[in-house]
Every structure is written in structure tokens, then in C-alpha cells.
Structure 1
Amino acid sequence: MLQKTYDWMMDKAAHRHAIWWLALISFIESSVFPIPPDIMLIPLVLAAPTRWFRIALICTLSSVAGGYLGYAIGYYFMDSVGAWVLAAFHLTEKFAAFKPLVDQYGVWVIIVKGATPIPYKLITIAAGAFKFDLLDFTFASFIARAMRFFLVAALLWKFGPPIRDFVEKRLKLVTTIAVVLLVGGFLVVKLL
């Protein structure tokens, strides 16, 4: 099933309306779709490197907009749709472990987790279920998703196809480094 979905996404990445397919995938991945939009983002940026900023921006905005759907699922339909989505993606245990993190770290946990390859749908549904402030959720989601998609797009723009394998195989490492640098930068500014 996942291989067919992946193949379908790769086919759409070569479509003449690929940017709109990317927007759709970014939107639905935030709540119910199994494969991250990076699968389409990477070939789109490689095919049009001078448009990397626009592609990353569309991916980011669509993902954040889709986050509202995930938030609504958690807020209004946690016991039915939310529970089903989390069970379908084997995220039920991670959902339970997420509540204390949200309570303790708030916006920061959404920024950190939202920038990493862990399923963003877990964050969006959990934020809604835990009644996390919608403005804070929007801010954190935008920062997290922009960090992730702009980092990938910028690396591909700067280094081209040679960096593709590195990004695809080590996406978690790349985004973790970006998060550490961001959080470290905020800590340095706060301490100075």
C-alpha cells in the first residue's frame, strides 16, 4: 500500500500541475495522509532550483493550513476520527506521551516536533485534543514547518542532486541539527 502511494506521489511530482499536487499532499499529510510532502518537494526543487523559495513556501503554508484540519479532528472528533487516525498510524502511545511535553514546554515542543520527521498529524491532532491555544499552535506550526521545508529546499538549491541522497536518507538528522541550532540560538540570546 505505501509503495503504491509513494509511486503515485512520484508520478504527481512530474505532473505539469505538480506544485498544486504538492500543496494538496502537504495539506492532507498534516492530518491523515501517510507519506510526508518531502517526497514531492525534493524532485520539484531539483527540477526547478531557482523556484526553491516559492516551492518551500507553498509546501509550508499548505502544511500549516492542513494542520488546522488535524487540530479540528483532535478538538471536535478525538474519540472517533482522531482515535482512528492515531491507531491507523500506530501513534496512540506517542499521543499519550505527548501531553506532558505539551504541558511542560508548550510552543517549543510543537516547534521541535513539527520540524522533525515524526508524523505532523500526531502534533496537530494532539494540539486540538489538548485544547492548545490556536494562535500559539499557528505560530509554532509555521516556524516548525518552514524550518523543515525551507531547509530541505535550500540544501537542494545550493548543492543540487548530490545532496538529494543525503537529505532523503538522513532527513531526521538534518532537521534535528536545524532544531538544535534554532533552540540553541534562542537560548544564547536569552542568556545574553
Structure 2
Amino acid sequence: MSAPRLLPASTEHRDARPGNRVRRALVALIARLHRWAESGSAGSAVCTWSCLQGSVVPGPSEALFLPLGLSDPRRALRLAAWAALGAVVGGLIAYGIGRYAFDAVGRPLVSLFGIGPARWHSLEGLFHRRGAMLVLLSTVSPLSTKLICIGAGAFGVPFPAYLAALTLGRVGRFGVLGLVVRFAGDRLVARLERKLGRSIETVA
């Protein structure tokens, strides 16, 4: 009987890497929330994901809103409102982490972005000068809103200005996405199905 074939070390330990564990956990979380949404609680599932993503969980903010909205464009605006609500609450949690729990929670989250203590403290002046503007830009750009919100709390961006910028940005972002999905969702789905050559409902 031949000896069992050993996998290369790189393959054997690939799934043990922290990054892979985070990705698997993220996919499992989204899948669980999607099942929750399909059970009839789409709004609360979208709100929950947006809150988690806006505070401590990595991942795209539209991961739940877009597929659920495209599956039924008529409810896209309602889902967008839920997504915006959850994202604002998540941003408030992130602000609280920066203000009251930076050393215990905020610093480890910041380190995930490859930002060391020296680089982080060098941003203090920028937050003091343009904190609210940074928050607003982060909601509509590739900047990490979670990281910016933690920084806003850690560096003492005034709360009223912070809340106004966060709310304006999040409502604007999801409002525009909701309008696009509501009025162009059917065409987007039809185009995608033509490219796939099958119904999008059959795609796992």
C-alpha cells in the first residue's frame, strides 16, 4: 500500500493563516445574514450588517444591500434606508471606540490597516483641521470609514460636526445606490443574466 501523499507545506497550512480565517468568518457571517433576510427580515439583516461593517467588521458596506435590492428592486429604497441607519449606528460605535476604548479595541483595529503608532499620531493634526471633512469623504470614497470614525473619536473631532458629516455621507451614499437599483435594477440583472447565460437565481 502506497504512503499517503503529503500536501506541500504552503498548501497544508494555507487555511490556517489569519487572513484566510477572517475571510471564512466574513463569508459565513454574510451567508447567515442572507438566510435571515430570506426568512422575511431583509431590512433588519441589512441594518445589522451595515452596523457591524461600520464599526468593527471588515468587508464591503453593500455586501447585503446590493444582492437583496437587485433581487427585488421595488424594495431597494426601503433597504437603502435600513442600510443607512445601520451604517450611522456603526459609525457612532466606531467613534465611541476611538474616544473611550482606543487602547483596548481601536489600536488593534488600526493595526489591521498597517498603520503603526508613529504614523497614527502623525494624523492628529489633520483630524483637528479637517476631521468632519475626512468623515464625509470616507463615506463616498475608498477611504476606510471605520478607520476614519475611530480616528475622529480618538482625536476628539467635535461630536455634532462628526454626526452631521457621517449622516449626510451615509444617507447620500445609500440613497444614490437605492435610486440606481430601484430604477435600473431590472436592466442590470437582465444584462448580468445575458452575460452568465442563465438566471441569476441559479448562481450559487
TM-score, normalization by structure 2: 0.70
Map 1:1-192 onto structure 2 (within 5 A).
1-6=22-27, 8-13=29-34, 14-92=38-116, 95-96=120-121, 98-160=123-185, 162-163=187-188
Structure-2 change in CA distance of 1:53 and 1:89 (3 Å): same
More helix by share: 1
Partners of 1:4 and 1:101 lie apart in 2 by 34
Structure-2 change in CA distance of 1:16 and 1:96 (3 Å): farther
Q: 1:6-65, CA deviations, whole angstroms, 9 ceiling, x for partnerless residues?
A: 354145334432321211111111121011330101012112212222111111111111
CA contact (8 A) 1:22 1:59 kept: yes
- How many Å apart are 1:121 and its aligned residue? 1.1
Structure-2 change in CA distance of 1:2 and 1:162 (3 Å): farther
CA contact (8 A) 2:97 2:150 kept: yes
CA contact (8 A) 1:26 1:36 kept: no
Larger radius of gyration: 2
- How many Å apart are 1:98 and its aligned residue? 4.3
Could you say which structure has the greater relative contact order, defined with CA pairs below 8 angstroms and 6 or more residues apart? Answer: 1
CA RMSD of aligned residues (A): 2.5
- Which amino acid in 2 is paired with 1:147? G
Aligned residues: 165
Percent identity between matched residues is: 25
TM-score, normalization by structure 1: 0.74
CA contact (8 A) 2:43 2:78 kept: no
- How many Å apart are 1:159 and its aligned residue? 1.4
Where do 5+ consecutive residues of structure 2 fail to align? 1-21, 192-204
Q: Single out whichever of 152-161 and 64-73 deviates more from structure 2.
A: 152-161
- How many Å apart are 1:153 and its aligned residue? 1.9
Structure-2 change in CA distance of 1:153 and 1:97 (3 Å): farther
- How many Å apart are 1:129 and its aligned residue? 0.2
CA contact (8 A) 2:131 2:162 kept: no
